[in-house]
Amino acid sequence: MTQEAATSSAPKKNKKVSVSDLALLKSEGKEKISVLTAYDYSTALICDRAGVDVLLVGDSAGMVVLGHPSTVPVNMQEMLMFCGAVSRGAKRAMIIGDMPFGSYQPSTSMAIENAVQFIKGGCDAVKLEGGAEIADKVKAIVDAGVPVMGHIGLKPQTSSLWEGYRLQGRTAESAQRLVQDAQALEKAGVFSIVLEMVASEVAEVITRKVSVPTIGIGSGPECDGQVLVLHDLLGIYEDIKPKFVKRYAELAKPILDAVSSYTRDVKAGKFPDEQNTFHMNPEELEKFQGKGKKK
């Protein structure tokens, strides 16, 4: 084993990834933080085995799993169900629950109560969208003992309502506001900040200015880590194909082909065949058919 490998800051294979592990990855700067979304037990198991550092149970589940046109309709009950499934599948990755729209905006007390529900439901932390305007709620949740990940730049919960899905930080003025938002969140106690669709030059400045790890999505290579929606990465979700997504697989077509083949086999009576069929013991079959010896 080389000295570099022996002193690697990467979280150990079987050790639960913690906030301090992520902080160490940023401070040492030797390797980036890998983050993916997950919404169910089976995919959480696979992502965990693959060595993903953080699994974000995103409210994007509302779109890729529940079929909503945006993340806005997702509610607490649905998010807690997804979080419970992921927490039962992933043992090493840190699990972060996305607080849905309406679960923290009305009041600080509601924000704390709902954040605690995520922790009781199996999460290690929660994520809130917003900058300086929600810093007081972030601080209150952190003070209540719940780790918080921030989220600035494009904010899907509200962008669809106000300005659409557009690149953030395109002007000097908007770029400076993003820096101020990141600093406000850092001061409020977040352990990390997601930067979504932020101009790469701005994301690089923010990453240098804050002491907590930045996790980019469509914000360039200089962030401390990257996150993608698993269904985008795998090429399963086809309704939207963001420019920032790299497709590591195109699984929609092979899944379609497999399901189509199954349907044809069933309709033609080709499935199940002998290798997929169970039989009675011959003697018991004789008795069942009334052909056995009479007592």
In a domain, residue 83? The reply is yes
Do residues 280 and 188 share a domain?
no
**Is 273 annotated in some ligand binding site?**
no
Do residues 194 and 277 share a domain?
no
CATH number where 234 lies: 3.20.20.60
Do residues 15 and 33 share a domain?
yes
Give pLDDT tens digits for 35-90: 999 999 999 999 999 999 999 999 999 999 999 999 999 999 999 999 999 999 99
For 278, the domain range is 255-289
**Is 60 annotated in some ligand binding site?**
yes
Do residues 66 and 176 share a domain?
yes
In a domain, residue 295? The reply is no
In a domain, residue 112? The reply is yes
Do residues 17 and 150 share a domain?
yes
In a domain, residue 180? The reply is yes
Do residues 224 and 263 share a domain?
no
pLDDT surpassing 90 at residue 242:
no
Task: Domain count for the chain, please give it.
Answer: 2
In a domain, residue 205? The reply is yes
Do residues 245 and 284 share a domain?
no
In a domain, residue 199? The reply is yes
Average pLDDT (121-136) is 98
**Is 129 annotated in some ligand binding site?**
yes
Do residues 88 and 214 share a domain?
yes
Q: What does pTM read for this prediction?
A: 0.91
Conformational region of residue 128, where left means phi above 0, alpha means psi within -120 to 50, and beta covers everything else: beta
Long-range contacts of 44-52 (CB under 8 A, 24+ apart): 44/85, 44/86, 44/87, 44/88, 44/89, 44/90, 44/93, 45/89, 45/90, 47/90, 47/93, 47/230, 48/89, 48/90, 48/91, 48/92, 48/93, 51/13, 51/92, 52/93
In a domain, residue 186? The reply is yes
pLDDT surpassing 60 at residue 219:
yes
**Is 250 annotated in some ligand binding site?**
no
Q: Catalytic residue among 163, 186, 196, 250, which?
A: 196
**Is 287 annotated in some ligand binding site?**
no
In a domain, residue 9? The reply is yes
Do residues 229 and 274 share a domain?
no
Do residues 217 and 92 share a domain?
yes
Do residues 234 and 270 share a domain?
no
- Mean pLDDT, the chain, rounded, equals 93
Given pLDDT bands bounded at 50, 70 and 90, which one contains residue 174?
Answer: very high
Give pLDDT tens digits for 131-148: 999 999 999 999 999 999
Tell me whether residue 204 is one of the annotated catalytic residues.
Answer: no
Torsion of CA 70, 74, 78, 80, to 10 degrees: 100
Do residues 220 and 282 share a domain?
no
Whole-angstrom distance, CA of residue 71 vs CA of residue 55? 18
